[in-house]
Structure 1
Amino acid sequence: MRAQLHLRPFGVGAFYPIETVTISGTPKEYVRTGASGGEVRSYFCPDCGSTVYWQADNLPAMIGVAVGAIADPDFTASIRSVFEQSKHGWVEMSGAEHFQQGSAAKPST
C-alpha cells in the first residue's frame, strides 16, 4: 500500500509566481516523478513534517503553497479543482472550475 498525502483525501494549494514568495527556514525536501514525467519537489517542515510548499518541472515559474500553512482565516476560496479523475465521490468543489487532470496556470488579473 502506498499512502499519498499522508492518507488525506485531497490537498489544497495556492499557486504564485515564484518571485513573489519568500521562503524562510530550512525545509526538508522530497523529490518524486509526477504524472507528466517531470520532477515534483515537495518541501516539509523539519520539525512537524507538514507540507509547506512544492515546485514542479512543468510549472517552473510557479510555486505551490499548502493552504493549511497560510495563517489568514479570510484566505480566498478555491477557484479550480484539478485531478478530479482520482477524487473521492463525496468530495464536492462548488464554485470552482473542474479539470479531470491538471490545468495550465492562468495569468493573474
Structure 2
Amino acid sequence: MNTTRTGGCLCGQVRYTLNAEPVISRICWCRDCQHLSSNGTVNVIFPSEAIEITGTPASYTSTAESGNQVSRRFCPRCGSHLFADSTGRPGLTVVRVGTLDDPSSVKPAANIWSASAPAWACLDETLDRVDRQPGPIKPR
C-alpha cells in the first residue's frame, strides 16, 4: 500500500510530498532534538528518494552524540525544522511529524535516547524504549 502524504513549514515557503510508506516512526529524546523543540521530537523516516520538495530549505550540519554527521533542513524564512539526514542512515530521511498536513497519519513505535529525557517527560509506556541510539534500520 502506498499512501501519499504532504506537509510543509509554518509559512508555506517549503512544501513536500511523500510517495512511500514510512519505514518507522519514533520519538527522539537526544539533546539535539530537545534543543530543536524544547521537548522530544516525533519523527518519521522515509526513503530519501520518496520525498519531493518544493522551495529550498536551508541546512545546518553537526556531529550528533552518536558520532554521525546530521544535516538538518529547515525553512529559511520561518525556521520550521522539516528534515534530517544522517551518515548513519544513508538513503533515509527523517521528517518531523508536526510538519505533516495530517500528523495523525503516522504513530510512533518507540522512544529513543530515552536516557536523555528530562525527569518530567511523558514517555508512553506502550511504546518500545531504547536508552540511546537504536540499531540500524534499512529501507523497505
- TM-score of the superposition, structure 1-length normalised? 0.85
Match of 1:39 among 51, 69, 87: 69
User: Do structure 1's residue 105 and structure 2's residue 137 form an aligned pair?
Assistant: yes
Match of 1:96 among 105, 111, 127: 127
- TM-score of the superposition, structure 2-length normalised? 0.68
Please name the residue that 2:47 is paired with. Answer: 17
Shift of 1:105: 2.0
The one-letter code sitting in structure 1 at the alignment partner of 2:62 is R
Aligned ranges for residues 67-106 of structure 1 at < 5 Å?
A: 67-90=97-120, 91-103=122-134, 104-105=136-137
User: Aligned residues: percent identity?
Assistant: 27
User: Do structure 1's residue 64 and structure 2's residue 65 form an aligned pair?
Assistant: no
Shift of 1:106: 5.7
Shift of 1:51: 0.2
**SS of aligned partner of 1:35:** coil
The one-letter code sitting in structure 2 at the alignment partner of 1:85 is A
**SS of aligned partner of 2:98:** helix
In angstroms, what is the RMSD of aligned CA positions? 2.0
Of 50-59 and 90-99, the range deviating more from structure 2: 90-99
Question: What do residues 14-50 of structure 1 show as CA deviations (whole Å, max 9, x unaligned)?
Answer: 0011121112210110111012222100001111101
Q: Gapped runs of 5+ residues in structure 2? A: 1-31
Q: Return closer, same or farther for 1:69/1:28 CA change in 2, 3 Å cut-off.
A: same
Higher-RCO chain (CA-CA 8 Å, sequence separation at least 6): 2
**Structure 1 outlier segments of 4+, above 4 Å:** none
The one-letter code sitting in structure 2 at the alignment partner of 1:25 is G
Q: Which has the higher strand share?
A: 2
